[in-house]
Chain A
Amino acid sequence: MIRRWGYVGITAVLAVVVAIWAVPELGRDTVTFVTIGQTGPDGGPPLPSLSPDLLIYPGTAQILLLAVGVGLLVQIYSTAYLGHHPRYRSYALVIVLFLIAMIAVVGTTNLWVLLVGWEVMGLCSYLLIGHEWESPVARAGAAKAFLVTRIADLGLVMAIIVIGETYGTYDIVGAQVAQSEQPRHATLIGLLVLVAVVGKSAQFPLHTWLPDAMPGPTPITALIHAATMVAAGVYLAARLFQLYADSQVVLTAMAVVAAITMLMGALFAWVQTDLKRALAWSTVSQLALMLAAVAVGDPEAGTDHLLAHGVFKALLFLGCGCVMLAVGSSALSSMGGLRRRMPVTFWTMTAGFAALAGLVPTAGFFTKDSVLHAIERATDGDRGLAAGTAWVLLVVALVTTFVTAAYATRLWVLTFFGAGHGAGPHGTLGQDVREAPLAMAGPLVVLAVATFALSVGQPLHLGTGLLSTVIAVAGVAAVLVAARRGSTLAWAPRPLAAELWLDRPFSRWILALGTGASRVVVELDREVVDVYPRGGESLAATISRGLGLAQSRNVQRYATVLAVGVVMLVVIGVVVS
């Protein structure tokens, strides 16, 4: 027990340090350097330097605080949720490692340091998804997440190299300064960054790993796969926005990806029969919304929504964890009627679902409003994105808003209302279904409060705000009415239920392609390439057989040869002289 709280203590120390560093920067608009280590002759770090080069941008302080704050809450939550797990220690320490990596990604201005943090996050994600490695599902999910994000990370590596080659520095600020003087290679950089973002933030078409990452412990899902790591993709897109802002190709591609992903994720979330998986698809959809904000040229709106989403999605996942602990499953069919048994979870998750649906006065409403407003502003076509694209994006976003409100309400209803489907032997809930312990409920309350508190001081855009509220209320109302009429809310067309077979390329075609290609390569290797090594080998063997005659492994023979040599040298020396 004490040991568990020791890990909480470590996390708390980390959080306090970050807070001391970041809190004074909260309101700042200008860039402040906190450079540790050496700088190069031109002020930026010399090429591939690995000095931390810590730097707070406007807006990054919030993300840092979000990361360590959620991290601390998750750590506290885990003491109760996972405290008796035999591998709790590695779990807790990986969380700390993850947080440090996240700080490195968000807090640095050196692209290589960012890459290191990025990869460490990927590693932590892999380790934590596979935490229950006894189950094959967890192993497969971890491997899939690892492989997919690794492929996408190649994009980041190449983007970093291209940035370095283009602007002569691996420093983000330096690159931005150089870009403001003479922009170059915006499209290339932008596309490579987009690849990285698509992988990390689980956007179409590399989105399939995130739902499969759900076998990981629920607190981890809340921390990594909702609040921070996947958000880091969006963060990167926003951070490097200036470098590719001039490229209409990139922005259009990003908008298309965002549009497809947000609607697809929302629809998939609707049809899920598993609460946790539904929330995962919801995350994919919400991340796409943030990406849309970046695509229309308002990265601040994107990071704001990132912040709010981080809070309420962490809340939802943690609440989901409480429910799972109570009913022993994440299937919606085993839930229902929980609102009396688990009042804290019910009310806090209600706040979370409200934020997800974009209802006033939660933070989710205001930040989504900002995003919609940004998209709406882009429809005039002078913000880098073609007006037509922006219109399509706006429509898709509004549809998504409706679907989001609908599936949020559906999940809320199915989880907390009704008689309780099949949980007990006679359709009633079991006796052991009770409220989560304090260590789990506490973080929920904190996050619920934050869900409302973050809306303080957010800008309000009346037109879009009104529109989105109407749409969201419509979605909520439609579902509530259907539920009141006795619908099971199980409307799921086959293509949607199968998630449009989008996973098929990964699970079958690529596999088959890879297998076939591997066979060819193996044959090629065996029949063609191996000729050289084999020839070299036999040549070496022949030579060594010859030389081996001298290597008798007998010290005395060596000594004899040595003595013969000495005597001969002396004799020659005497004769010559």
Chain B
Amino acid sequence: MNATEVVFVVLSVLAAGSALLAMTSRQLVHAALWLVVTLGAVAGCFVLMTAEFIAWVQVLVYVGAVVVLVIFALMLTRQGREQGSGTTAEVTGNRWIAAVLGVVAAVGLGATTIAGFGGERIEGRRIGTAASIGDALFTDWVLPFEILSGVLLAALVGAIVLSRSGSDR
């Protein structure tokens, strides 16, 4: 186990632990903030896999935009009966089924990957330079990329339409 692997394991534990906290925390804001930690740790994992570009995009988009958006939504939807900054977020009645399902899914996927890729190793070559990604994106993937821009535009329009209040619709 070399240094990279040690760091990766530490980040993994951080990511999984904070994800667990995010999904079980009773306070909505804490959940969102734990998610930030998870996303940051995953970004760190990306860096360790030399996918730097993906890592920074992850931080920029997820932490900078998505989480801020989520926190904004949490603030806007704070219900009156709840007090203070922490909005309680109980879990539903079927949480035990959900927990069992989660564990089964995780264990099943883990077992499958162990069975399938047990001995494989990632070589230490750099894969995530901006040049190589950009090259791939704008040669082989240019059509999906353009279609994606259309999807984003549609989502933008949809979000605006949905968010307009009823009176001026």
Contacts and interface: CB of A to CB of B under 8 A. Distances in A.
Touch between chains A and B, by CB atoms below 8 Å:
yes
A560 B108 contact: no
A571 B108 CA distance: 9
Contact of B94 (A560, A567, A571): A560
A116 interface: no
Interface string A422-448: 000000000000000000000000000
A560 B97 CA distance: 8
A153 B62 CA distance: 73
B99 to A, nearest CB: 11
B7 interface: no
Contacts of A13: none
B104 A567 contact: yes
B132 interface: no
Contacts of A560: 94, 97-98, 101
A573 to B, nearest CB: 11
Nearest to A564: B101
A23 interface: no
A564 B97 contact: yes
A61 B44 CA distance: 93
Contacts of B108: 567, 570-571
A557 interface: yes
Contacts of A554: 92
A570 B109 CA distance: 11
A563 B94 contact: no
A571 B105 CA distance: 10
Contacts of B94: 556-557, 560
A554 B104 CA distance: 23
Interface in B122-144: none
A549 to B, nearest CB: 14
Contacts, number: 18
A556 B104 contact: no
Contacts of B104: 567
B92 A567 contact: no
A356 to B, nearest CB: 65
A414 B97 CA distance: 98
B101 A556 contact: no
B97 A567 contact: no
Interface in B63-115: 92, 94, 97-98, 101, 104-105, 108
A16 B97 CA distance: 81
A563 B98 CA distance: 9
Contacts of B105: 563, 567
Q: What range describes how many residues of A lie at the interface?
A: under 10
Contacts of A556: 92, 94
Q: What range describes how many residues of B lie at the interface?
A: under 10
B53 to A, nearest CB: 33
A100 B104 CA distance: 76
Contacts of B101: 560, 563-564, 567
Interface in A520-577: 554, 556-557, 560, 563-564, 567, 570-571
B100 to A, nearest CB: 9
Contacts of A571: 108
A360 to B, nearest CB: 76
A554 B105 CA distance: 22
B116 to A, nearest CB: 12
Nearest to B112: A574
Interface string B8-22: 000000000000000
A564 B94 CA distance: 12
A556 to B, nearest CB: 6
A363 B25 CA distance: 101
A563 B92 CA distance: 16
Nearest to B108: A570
A268 to B, nearest CB: 63
A563 B94 CA distance: 12
A570 to B, nearest CB: 7
A392 B132 CA distance: 111
B89 to A, nearest CB: 13
Nearest to A554: B92
B85 to A, nearest CB: 26
A555 to B, nearest CB: 11
Contacts of A570: 108
A536 to B, nearest CB: 35
Nearest to B91: A556
A576 to B, nearest CB: 15
A178 to B, nearest CB: 62
A53 B156 CA distance: 55
Nearest to B104: A567
A563 B97 CA distance: 10
A567 B105 CA distance: 7
Contacts of A563: 101, 105
Contacts of B92: 554, 556
Nearest to A563: B101
A557 B98 CA distance: 10
Contacts of A567: 101, 104-105, 108
A342 to B, nearest CB: 62
B155 to A, nearest CB: 20
A564 B71 CA distance: 31
B102 to A, nearest CB: 9
A552 to B, nearest CB: 10
A393 to B, nearest CB: 73
Contacts of B98: 560
Nearest to B93: A557
A121 B128 CA distance: 80
A560 B99 CA distance: 11
A560 B94 CA distance: 8
B70 to A, nearest CB: 18
A564 B101 CA distance: 7
A570 B111 CA distance: 13
18 contacts: A554-B92, A556-B92, A556-B94, A557-B94, A560-B94, A560-B97, A560-B98, A560-B101, A563-B101, A563-B105, A564-B97, A564-B101, A567-B101, A567-B104, A567-B105, A567-B108, A570-B108, A571-B108
Given A557-B94, A560-B94, 11 more contacts: A554-B92, A556-B92, A560-B101, A563-B101, A564-B97, A564-B101, A567-B101, A567-B104, A567-B105, A570-B108, A571-B108
Q: Which 4 A-B pairs have the closest CB atoms?
A: A563-B101, A560-B94, A567-B104, A560-B97
Interface of A: 554, 556-557, 560, 563-564, 567, 570-571
